[in-house]
Structure 1
Amino acid sequence: MKSLEKCLLAVVLACCLFQMGQAIKCWDCRSDNDPKCGDPFDNSTLAITDCQQAPELEHLKGVRPTMCRKIRQKVHGEWRYFRSCAYMGEPGIEGDERYCLMRTGSYNIFMEYCTCNSKDGCNSAGVHRMGWMGVLFGTLASVLVAHFLRQ
């Protein structure tokens, strides 16, 4: 392999690894304080929060947020939305972010918890997952670039 090809491949791999190593960033808002936090979600006036900078919770010493969460809550017929960094839980249901955990209670109470970690800002309106197909595609693209540079 030529040194240029080795250098290019090293840069591509380093970029992939660097992206995976960064902390997740999530939207942080409440619809009872900001109507733009509801659905449809309007992040035009919100800054995204770096979860690595989120404060440590008193009741969860040593636990850092690694995911984003969106909570949709209906209390006495009124919908409320909460978006934040998530300290505990798992993405989606059994790892599938397309599905949210739903709970109902007495007195007309409904809650939906959507947790994700697939990309920054994944707790916006929709949840999209790249997963292993994206990693596979990136690896294939790197191999093809190296192959064409060799010729």
Structure 2
Amino acid sequence: MANKTSLPILLLVLFVFCCIQQGLSIKCWVCRSDSDPKCADPFDNTTVPITDCKQEPDLEHLPGVRPTMCRKIRQKVNGEWRYFRSCAYMGEPGIEGDERFCLMRTGTYNIFMEYCTCNSKDGCNTAWSNHGSVFASIVSLAISLRYVLVYT
């Protein structure tokens, strides 16, 4: 009987640790296409080291706020595209928590901006986000709960 209940508990503990690990620290690509053309889309990370966001400096205008997400900004100014990738200090991933969607703004003087944030995995600010690790965690939790309900 102990073996039947220990497996779901172990899976649940592993799931919690995975979630805590993802929440405490994230690594993001940090670059600007105006200084490194490989930072544009399609993104080529061969010249860009991934940055651990917990090593990023505190910001004077945001005391006590630490970066917990990655950010990708795509701007079109007077017909020229610019890309910025960095750690993000504020906001939420995507729109209403869905990383597949980005905020888009247009302005005067032929300016367009797309602002995307993510925290699903290290380096998620390459392009569209991939929810594979979150999906795998949810599936393993569901299997564990089913196992507990059926065998207890």
Aligned partners of 1:39, 1:16: CA distance in 2, in Å? Answer: 34
Number of the residue aligned with 2:120:
118
Q: Which amino acid aligns with 2:20?
A: G
What's the offset of the Cα at 1:57? Answer: 0.4
What's the offset of the Cα at 1:46? Answer: 2.1
Aligned partners of 1:14, 1:36: CA distance in 2, in Å? Answer: 40
TM-score by length of 1: 0.82
Number of the residue aligned with 2:87:
85
Selected match of 1:63 from 41, 62, 65: 65
Q: Which amino acid aligns with 2:72?
A: K
Uncovered stretches (5+) of structure 2, i.e. residues with no partner: none
Number of the residue aligned with 1:29:
31
What's the offset of the Cα at 1:136? Answer: 2.8
| 1:28-78 deviations in Å (ceiling 9; x for gaps) | 111111111110001123221111111110100000111111000111111
Retained in 1: the 8 A contact 2:8–2:144? yes
TM-score by length of 2: 0.82
| 1:67-105 deviations in Å (ceiling 9; x for gaps) | 111000111111110001111111111211111101111
Uncovered stretches (5+) of structure 1, i.e. residues with no partner: none
Give me the identity figure in percent: 64
Aligned partners of 2:69, 2:94: CA distance in 1, in Å? Answer: 11
User: CA, structure 1 residues 142+43, in 2 after alignment: closer, same or farther (shift >3 Å)?
Assistant: farther
Aligned partners of 1:78, 1:130: CA distance in 2, in Å? Answer: 33
Aligned partners of 1:53, 1:87: CA distance in 2, in Å? Answer: 13
Q: Secondary structure at the match of 1:49?
A: strand
Count of residue pairs brought into register by the alignment: 147
Q: Secondary structure at the match of 1:44?
A: helix
Q: Is 1:17 equivalent to 2:19 in the alignment?
A: no
Higher helix fraction (1 or 2): 2
Structure 1 runs (4+) greater than 3 angstroms displaced: 1-5, 8-15, 130-135, 140-146
